[in-house]
Amino acid sequence: MTTPLNLEGLYASSLRVDSKKKWVVAVIGGDILLFGSHGSKPALAIAAEDADVLKFFREGRLHIGQWWGSDCEVWDLTPEAAGCDGFNRVELRTLLAQSADAEFSLASRATQLLDWQKKHQFCGQCGAVNRMSETEHALICEPCVIRQYPRISPCVIVAVVSGDRCLFARHPRWPENRFSTLAGFIEAGESAEQALHREVFEEVGLEIHNIRYVGSQAWPYPGQLMLGYIADAKTEDIKIDGVEIAEAHWFKYDQLPSVVAPPTIMAGRLIQLFVEESKARYD
């Protein structure tokens, strides 16, 4: 195989390029093991020579693509690996909240592929043991001739705006001061736009228009793809469902709730965009 086109950050290829340098992402039970030598910043991608000490604790490994042009694997480790010198176990959610886009994608892909491999060991139709394809990320049942690919579940997430105000909602299990934008899964047979109208209407009873696409982000719980939008509300009369949403309010761009998502994740990116656009328009 030739060198991949995109050498920046993650290239999500199923194939190896047999690069001289090799990278490892170390995972323990869904958490990530970072490595930092001699006081350097703890790193997600570990050079193979530094990861060598972890081999003893390895229960599984999977090629996940190229990291800055070099082959990268994820290793599934037993909890004892966290005791190795220079390594530091962190929760995936904590890491994602602090990561730049490239690291975010790498951590997301590594944990998703490992999770998928563990949960699809047997054929859903006949129960036979699946075999990993040698050429792509697919688990194959030979008797049934079925290929299982990593499942990606698209979701919509939307900042609903009315002039200089944005709608924020609190989920029943969240603390009292934490609010976010609305989000939900796209149902089978539905378009992203239909899902946006339905989710917003079901959760807060509003109709929306002027839907604008902002961007997308993989979110590994376990295989969500968040499609981010900003939309205008037709009215400001909220009717919350009381089940998915505990409360929802309109917040002016310079008086946001005290706890909102960081701009590294899609909800935070939408909020940041709303604030920037409002400042340009109303300041």
Q: What residues make contact with Zn ion under the rule CB under 5 A?
A: 123, 125-126, 128, 141, 144
Q: How far is the CB of 143 from Zn ion (least distance, A)?
A: 5
Q: How far is the CB of 109 from Zn ion (least distance, A)?
A: 27
Q: How far is the CB of 141 from Zn ion (least distance, A)?
A: 3
Handedness of CA 177, 227, 222, 108 (dihedral sign): negative
- The whole-angstrom separation of Cα 191 and Cα 202 is 16
Are β-strands 46-47 and 23-28 bridged in parallel, bridged antiparallel, or unpaired?
A: antiparallel
Taking Cα atoms as reference points, which of 226, 163, 240, 218 lies closest to residue 196?
A: 226
Which residue, 112 or 117, has its beta carbon nearer to Zn ion? Answer: 117
108, 59 Cβ separation under 8 angstroms: no
Could you count the other beta carbons within 10 Å of the beta carbon of residue 150?
A: 16
Torsion of CA 62, 64, 69, 70, to 10 degrees: -10
Q: How far is the CB of 14 from Zn ion (least distance, A)?
A: 22
- The whole-angstrom separation of Cα 75 and Cα 40 is 22
Which residue, 7 or 128, has its beta carbon nearer to Zn ion? Answer: 128
Q: How far is the CB of 223 from Zn ion (least distance, A)?
A: 22
Which residue, 120 or 269, has its beta carbon nearer to Zn ion? Answer: 120
Token readout for 119 is 């949960």
Which residue, 149 or 282, has its beta carbon nearer to Zn ion? Answer: 149
Which residue, 55 or 119, has its beta carbon nearer to Zn ion? Answer: 119
Please give the span between the terminal C-alpha atoms of the chain, in angstroms, as a whole number. 54
Which residue, 128 or 259, has its beta carbon nearer to Zn ion? Answer: 128
Q: How far is the CB of 62 from Zn ion (least distance, A)?
A: 22
- The whole-angstrom separation of Cα 84 and Cα 87 is 6
